[in-house]
Every structure is written in structure tokens, then in C-alpha cells.
Structure 1
Amino acid sequence: MIVINPSHKCPSPQAAIEAPIWCAYIAELCDADSILDAEADGLTLEETADIVGNEDCIIVSMGANPSASSTPKAGVALKLAELIPNASVAGLHFHNMPSVESLVSVTPAWRLLDLSKYRAHNWHCLDGRDRSGYGVIYSSFGCPFKCDYCNIHTLYSGITYRRPLDVLNEIDYLVARGVKNLKFCDELFTVNKDHVNEICDRLSYRNYDLNIWGYAKTGTVNPEMLKNMKRAGFNWLCYGFESGSDEILRGVGKKQTMKRMFEAVEMTREAGINIIGNFIFGLPDDDMKTMYATKRLSKQLGCEWVNYYCAMAYPGSKLYEDTPKEDLPDTWEGYDQYSPNAKPLPTKYLTSQEVLEFRDKAFNSFYSNAGYLQMIERKFGQQAVGHIKEMMQWSVRGTPSLASSLS
């Protein structure tokens, strides 16, 4: 049995190449003989099919993020399945995914992967660290919150935790295999203080000098926890700030306020942890005024990095259920945030194209801002500024994704 990670990666040298953790989990549970990471190896669909031949295989349609990357990857997986006689497909939008009960009791089959192939995100190593030796891990599955734009509950409802000792044993193994940059894939790592503190206490004791990032939420962090995370190696936390309007946030079930955002940023910064801010343009009640407020907030918070997204009605989300069919993408590629053929949602006041153009311009404006670049130079050095300027040579949506040939 072969488990396949089909190629759907961004060709930009700034992008991460992430070890396919869902392939490793499925390989362990299915007692697979091998994992073919076509994404890391840069294989086309045809090359992948030629290698597999008539072998039984499982094509895993799960990316680094269950919403943003897994949905557009479904088209690639289905096309590959047409080329391989004995293939089945597993992923967010398919039924044959492992249960959460089975996941918490096993360790991914990392032995079947060459971990030297993987590299961290550009921002993860802005301080000049070597981006190689990049590992990923889950300490929990699912999320206790129900934001309208998220479809994680299609996969698992609620949140289920792994034993901290199992998590640490897996980190020990990854470090022994050369991992020095690490991502906690948990949808929300900071929701359970006791869980976080036990993992971080044990990591601090090991003194691995890891460069770690993970996802956090305003209202779930406190100064003591953040300082403990910093001691354990957390240098970056990603917050889903999403909007600069409390009213817009309430409209999509996002239980936070701008006051909480600024409080979380202050605590995180005092702990010495850098901040990645996620922001969404084009939520259902957005107009130009509220989108400008979101753009303005992203600068006021002083994040070291931002991700600007367009609102997408991912299948399985409440937003998908509430969206008229004519406003949904016609192809899987339409769900790809950075595809030339991306099709975000229109709002009550704006067209899909207006939202998309606003996002693209906001991205260029943020990363070319002189004040921002000066802050980056003070914190990380001139090499980090040069890295960002190199990134800006890539158009936000100028390079077609692999899925563009599948429409």
C-alpha cells in the first residue's frame, strides 16, 4: 500500500514545504509500505501515476490547513485518482478519514519520510535561521469554537487532546531526525492552559533550542502562559484577528473584540514572541469602509507578519450553507486563495472581484510600507528586508496553481 501526497505546492521559494502529516497518520493506521510525497519531490500528476502503476494506494487530499489548503487540493487528488487504477481518496471532503479516537493513540509514520526535504515558512526564519529541518506535530484535534467561515467541524467536532507525554516523545523523535523548526498544527493550541503548560514545561527541560510556531486566540492567552511558551521555544504565534469591526466579527460568530486583540498583542510582545496576524476581507457584511478598517487594524497591531485572505465559503462551513449556489466557485481551484482564478464571496455591498482586488492591493501596500520595513530591519536585520523585497517580486496571484490545468 502506497500513501500519496499529490503535488499542489506554490512554486515560490518563500513558501514552506511541509511534511505531509496526514499522509503519515494514514500510513501508520493502514500499515502502508511507503509514502510518496509528490509535492516535496516536485512530481507532476502523470509522473506520480507512473511511479504508482497498479499498486493499491490512498491519495490524501489534506493540506497544511484543513480549510484554506485542503479544499483546493481536492481537485488535484480527484484528477490523480483518474490516472491510477487502484486508488482511493481520503481528505476533508471525503468519508474515509481516520476517527479522532484512532489519531490520538498513534504516532505518525515519520519513518517513511525523508525529513531533510522540508523547509520552514519564510517568516518563520526571518532572523536568518536555516529553514531546513522543518517538522510538524499535532497535540490536539479539532476546535471548540464555531466560526461561520471555518469547516474544521466537518472533520472533527469539539476538541480532543493527545497525552502530553506522547507529544513530547514524538518531538524527541523529530529532533533526533534533524528537526529544529517546528509547527504545532493544532487549530487552537492555547485553549487549554494545563495542556499547554505541561508540554512547554517538558520542552523547556529538554533545552532543544527549537524555533516553534502555532495558532492562538485572543482571550485564551495570559502573560504566564506566553512566557512559558517562549521558554519552550515558541518564537511566533498566529492570531486570527480577521476583521477591524466588532460588528463584522459578531456576524460570523467570531467571539472576540478589538479590545481583546490589542491586549493579546501586548502580552505576546512582552513575552518576546512575534505575531502573525490573519485577516479576512469580504465577510458577508463587509463594505469598503469595514475592509479599510481591517486593513488599518492590521497596521495598528504592529504584527511582524500578516496573512490577508478573502472570505471563501468552504464546503462544510456555515458560510457555505448560507451562500447561494451561483456565488460559489465552479471549480476546486476557485477556493485557492492565491490562484489567478480564485473566486471569493461577494458581500452584501461588494462584488467578488472588488474583494479580490482589495486584498491584493492591501498585501502589496503592507509589505512595501516604509515604516513596516524599518521595523523589520530593527528586529531581524537588513537580510530580512531583502528577503521581503524578494518576496514582493512574486505577484500575489501571478503564478497559476497546479489546479488551474484541471478546470
Structure 2
Amino acid sequence: MSNRSPIRCCLINPPYLVKAGNIWNHIKSTMPPLGLLYLAAVLEQGGVTVDVWDFQAASLDWDGIEKTIAAHGYPFFGITGTTPVINSGYRIAGLIKKYHPQAQVIFGGVHVTALPEEALGRTECDMVIRGEGEKALLQLVQGRPLHQIEGLSFRHEGQMVHNQPNGTMENLDEIPPPAFHKLDLSRYKPAAGAYKRLPAINMTSTRGCPAHCTFCNSANIPLRRRSAEKIFAEMAVLVNTYKIREIQFYDDTFTVFPSNIKKLCQLIIDNRLDVTWSCFARADYVSLDLLKVMKKAGCHQIMYGIESASEEILANIRKNCSREKSLQALAMTRAVGIDSRCTFMLGNPGETIETIEATIRLAIQLNPDLAVFNITMPFPGTQMFQWARENGYLRHENWDDYDLGAPVLQLPTISAAETVAWYNRAYRAFYLRPGYVLSRLGKVTSWSDMEVLLRGTGSLLGFVRNTLFSKP
């Protein structure tokens, strides 16, 4: 029998600090960090003792975070490195090195996958895992030589080494379910207006996306799916063990494999699983028969990314989904009794005041139950970021401001100030229409429906109220 101590690793989700005046202060969700929980599950399966610290859900200020780090040492710390939280991640890494200088600090996530040399240029970062990290992190903590780990970036003899290719899990069914037991699930809640019941949790059924939109990192990720049986088994555990009543599927395009989703829905129906759920989809990846079985299986809301009314802008951002498809999808969704939430992007390449006005008109014509307008954000790792950087259209690379609420693109066709003004106007134009609130009230059939309405629409109207004195 071996007397070796178990390998220990701590996975950290840095705090996400949303600025005052941002719409996400009103509707933001706090959901479990699925990426870290998949990593934790793989590490546990490999015999590693792992803890997960989610500082987005914890009620801690920076003093509290520092005390937590100081009190708990691990040989390995893994930190999420997405753009909105990367500076918080670097700050946490600095604290780790302050109190545990011998610990290895590893970053993973979309931001550091795109910009590994930025992270490795900081002394508090020892290594970066690019792409999907399940295999690489387990191999790293188990002691495999660094040069043999795919997707690993590290410093060696004064040089930065980037092992190829990026990490990818070919068979998603081989990944164990997320380690939800590592977190207190009572701390989590979906975005206002996006759920029907509580407690709620998030899941994914795929990785990657069939589309190649310039603003999305998923354009670079191969498309794969989990089997309907594996998805259902995880849902059943969440419902029966954790007493979850609502699931949000965070796939980029949940309906991309329609036969798989139909099979999943039939499993939910046949087993009478007591759960309601929502998902994200593209307007060109739904059909009436699919929507009918989704509704029967408990789907109550679908979020569609519409983005713009301008065919030229849709072509610029490679969003190959026409206005007609969007109108058709919303009509079918409404016909089967599923609510719709639509997102729109303002400040795209080629944007003008006229195209924004057209997008606002389209939002009103589509008339979804909820509309969310975001300012276009060229995140590192996307084609749009590369285009903007190469052509001098980035106003700055202060990652804290990459939060969907303030322009970072300096476009020749519209100013940043005009984009912000029309962003505020879009919310007023959509939500202050006569009859909008009445139409939402018409869907209320119970007190729980009223509570959801007040949280969702009420939160959005709170943001709209704050824009009343904005121009134009």
C-alpha cells in the first residue's frame, strides 16, 4: 500500500465586478461554473483531492478573498481566465504567490487561450492550459512531463513554449458529470426573466457551434454532442438528488442536433421528470415539430440571438440567419406556447444610426417576451477582435471594460457616444410601449408566474428607468 499523500488542487472562479449602470447589474445571473466543475469531476475520478472556490457566488470582498487564500495552501491552483474576470484572476494569482510562493498557478479559459503570452508574461502565472482542460490538468497534476501535455503553455529556459494542439475532448460522454457536490447550490440563481421555478441549475449538451460568427469564440471550437441518455441521466440526478426544478441549457445552439434533442425530450416525457427548462437556439435551427416536443417536455423559454436587422451587418459578422428566418422562428415558438427572449447587438462593424433604428424596429416587430440589447464586444479569441486590433479599431484593451455595456470599438460609421445613446434608447423604445406590460400580465396564471414576471420584467424596467434622462 502506498503512503503517498493524495494530490491536492484548488479551482477558483474569480469575482465578476459589473459596473454601475450596466444592464447586467439588473438581470445578471450567478450560476455554477460548469467548466471548473467538469475539471473537478475529472480530477476526482483520477484520484486527486479537489476543492472549488466560486468567488462570484461567495459574499466576500477582497479582504475576505485574501484571508481565504492565506488560510488554505495547495500545491496546485487553477484559475478561470475569461476576459471579464481576467484582471480579478491575476489579482488572485498574486495573492496565491504572496502566501504560497511554491504553489503552481495554472490559468485556463477563453482569454488566456487566445492570449497565453499575456498571462505567462506575469510572474504570478506559471502555466496556461489552452482549449478544453480536462486531460491537460489531470496530466499536469499527476506529474507528466510538461513537454508531453497537449495544450499546455509554460516558460522554459527564458522562452515561452506552446504545446500543440489545443486541448479537445473528442467524446463528451466520457467526461463524468460536473462535481455539483463541491458547491452550495442554494447560492445560485439564473438571470432575471430567464426561469420559471427555483432552485435552478445550468447544464450543457454540446460543445462548439455550427456557425462561425465573428464575435463568438465558439467559431473556433469543434462541434460535438453528448448522447440523449447521458444528458437525461444528469438531469435526473439533479432533479432527484439535488431537488432542482429548473435547468438552463447553456449550449450555443441547443437544437443543432434535433434528433438527439427529440430523444432527450421523449426520455423526459416517458419518465415524467418534474423539471422545466430553457435553452439558447438559432432561428435557423428550429422546426415546428421540434418545438412541439420541447414544449411537451418542459421547455418554457428559448433565447434567440437576432443581433441586427441589417443584412449587410449580418454578413459582416458572419451571422448567416436572415430576418425572415427570425420572424418565422418567433412565430413558431409563440404558436407552441414557448416564451422567447431575443438578444440584439448594437455597434457592429458597419453600424450606423439608421441600422440601429432598423434593429429597434425589428425587435418591436418580433415582439419577444424579453429583449436584451448589448453593445458589441470584440472579445480576445474571436475573429472580430483580430480584425479590430489589426485595423486600429480597438479603443483600448482594458479588459475590465469588456462587459457588454460600453463600446470598445472605435468605428468610422458611428461614434462610441452615439452607440451608448442609442443603446439606452433601444430599451426605452421596446419596454415603454403601450401594452407591453399588459401583454406580459396576460400570461400570468398563478402567483409564481407573477413573481417571475416581477423579477424579470421588473428588473429590466428598473434599468429602463435609469436611461430616461439619456439622449437621444
Please classify the TM superposition score into its range, dividing by the shorter chain length: 0.7 to 0.9
Structure 1 residue 102: deviation in Å?
A: 6.7
Residue 50 of structure 2 is aligned to residue 38 of structure 1: no
Structure 1 residue 165: deviation in Å?
A: 1.2
Provide, for residues 321-379 of structure 1, a one-character-per-residue CA deviation record: whole Å limited to 9, x for no partner: 111345243311121113xxx33323331012221221122123322333221211112
Q: Secondary structure at the match of 2:280?
A: strand
1:328 to 1:313, Cα distance in 2 relative to 1, 3 A: farther
Q: Secondary structure at the match of 2:408?
A: coil
The more displaced of 48-57 and 161-170 is 48-57
Q: Secondary structure at the match of 1:343?
A: coil
- Which residue number in structure 2 is paired with residue 152 of structure 1? 218
- Which residue number in structure 2 is paired with residue 113 of structure 1? 183
Q: Tell me, in whole angstroms, the C-alpha distance in 2 between the residues paired with 1:259 and 1:326.
A: 31
State the AA in 1 paired with 2:84: P
- Which residue number in structure 1 is paired with residue 418 of structure 2? 354
- Which residue number in structure 2 is paired with residue 298 of structure 1? 363
Structure 1 residue 318: deviation in Å?
A: 1.2
State the AA in 1 paired with 2:194: H
Residue 11 of structure 2 is aligned to residue 3 of structure 1: yes
Contact 1:135 1:181 in 2 (8 A): yes
Q: Secondary structure at the match of 1:19?
A: coil
- Identity, in percent, stands at 24
Normalising by structure 1, report the TM-score.
Answer: 0.87
Residue 288 of structure 2 is aligned to residue 280 of structure 1: no
Match of 2:238 among 166, 174, 178: 174
Q: Tell me, in whole angstroms, the C-alpha distance in 2 between the residues paired with 1:61 and 1:396.
A: 34
Q: Tell me, in whole angstroms, the C-alpha distance in 1 between the residues paired with 2:248 and 2:372.
A: 17
Structure 1 residue 395: deviation in Å?
A: 7.2
Contact 1:105 1:162 in 2 (8 A): no
Contact 1:138 1:185 in 2 (8 A): yes
Structure 1 residue 49: deviation in Å?
A: 3.3
- Which residue number in structure 2 is paired with residue 312 of structure 1? 377
1:51 to 1:395, Cα distance in 2 relative to 1, 3 A: farther
Contact 1:116 1:133 in 2 (8 A): yes
Contact 2:110 2:381 in 1 (8 A): no
Residue 153 of structure 2 is aligned to residue 84 of structure 1: no
Q: Secondary structure at the match of 1:179?
A: coil
State the AA in 2 paired with 1:93: H
The more displaced of 299-308 and 92-101 is 92-101
Contact 1:184 1:215 in 2 (8 A): yes
Provide, for residues 127-169 of structure 1, a one-character-per-residue CA deviation record: whole Å limited to 9, x for no partner: xx54x31111111100121011112245xx2201112211111
- Which residue number in structure 2 is paired with residue 377 of structure 1? 441
Q: Tell me, in whole angstroms, the C-alpha distance in 1 between the residues paired with 2:17 and 2:351.
A: 30
Q: Secondary structure at the match of 2:66?
A: helix
The 5-angstrom pairing of residues 49-64 of structure 1 reads: 49-53=66-70, 54-61=73-80
Q: Tell me, in whole angstroms, the C-alpha distance in 1 between the residues paired with 2:33 and 2:374.
A: 23
Contact 1:191 1:220 in 2 (8 A): yes
Q: Secondary structure at the match of 2:397?
A: coil
Structure 1 residue 383: deviation in Å?
A: 5.4
The 5-angstrom pairing of residues 322-401 of structure 1 reads: 322-323=387-388, 324-325=391-392, 327-338=394-405, 342-380=406-444, 386-387=454-455, 388-394=457-463
Q: Secondary structure at the match of 1:363?
A: helix
Q: Tell me, in whole angstroms, the C-alpha distance in 2 between the residues paired with 1:44 and 1:88.
A: 23
Structure 1 residue 385: deviation in Å?
A: 5.9
Provide, for residues 95-125 of structure 1, a one-character-per-residue CA deviation record: whole Å limited to 9, x for no partner: 4142323754121111212222211222124
Residue 86 of structure 2 is aligned to residue 17 of structure 1: no
1:346 to 1:204, Cα distance in 2 relative to 1, 3 A: farther
Q: Tell me, in whole angstroms, the C-alpha distance in 1 between the residues paired with 2:28 and 2:235.
A: 23
Structure 1 residue 316: deviation in Å?
A: 1.4
Structure 1 vs Structure 2 CA RMSD? 2.3
Note the residue ranges of structure 1 that are not aligned, 5 or more in a row. Answer: 63-69, 399-407
The more displaced of 233-242 and 388-397 is 388-397
Q: Secondary structure at the match of 2:212?
A: coil
Q: Tell me, in whole angstroms, the C-alpha distance in 2 between the residues paired with 1:328 and 1:104.
A: 42
The more displaced of 33-42 and 44-53 is 44-53
Contact 1:7 1:43 in 2 (8 A): no
Q: Secondary structure at the match of 2:443?
A: helix
State the AA in 1 paired with 2:35: W
The more displaced of 165-174 and 50-59 is 50-59
Residue 96 of structure 2 is aligned to residue 75 of structure 1: no
- Which residue number in structure 1 is paired with residue 161 of structure 2? none
Provide, for residues 53-95 of structure 1, a one-character-per-residue CA deviation record: whole Å limited to 9, x for no partner: 3324434426xxxxxxx42122221221111123322211224
Structure 1 residue 200: deviation in Å?
A: 1.1
Residue 39 of structure 2 is aligned to residue 26 of structure 1: yes
State the AA in 2 paired with 1:144: P
Q: Secondary structure at the match of 2:437?
A: helix
Provide, for residues 168-204 of structure 1, a one-character-per-residue CA deviation record: whole Å limited to 9, x for no partner: 1111111120211111111111111111111111112
Contact 2:26 2:459 in 1 (8 A): no
1:318 to 1:345, Cα distance in 2 relative to 1, 3 A: same
Q: Tell me, in whole angstroms, the C-alpha distance in 1 between the residues paired with 2:329 and 2:464.
A: 32
1:394 to 1:245, Cα distance in 2 relative to 1, 3 A: closer
The more displaced of 73-82 and 92-101 is 92-101
1:147 to 1:14, Cα distance in 2 relative to 1, 3 A: closer
Note the residue ranges of structure 2 that are not aligned, 5 or more in a row. Answer: 1-8, 19-23, 98-102, 113-127, 134-167, 468-472
Normalising by structure 2, report the TM-score.
Answer: 0.76
Q: Tell me, in whole angstroms, the C-alpha distance in 2 between the residues paired with 1:363 and 1:13.
A: 13
- Which residue number in structure 2 is paired with residue 48 of structure 1? 65
State the AA in 1 paired with 2:338: I
Structure 1 residue 263: deviation in Å?
A: 0.7
Q: Secondary structure at the match of 1:4?
A: strand
Structure 1 residue 48: deviation in Å?
A: 2.3
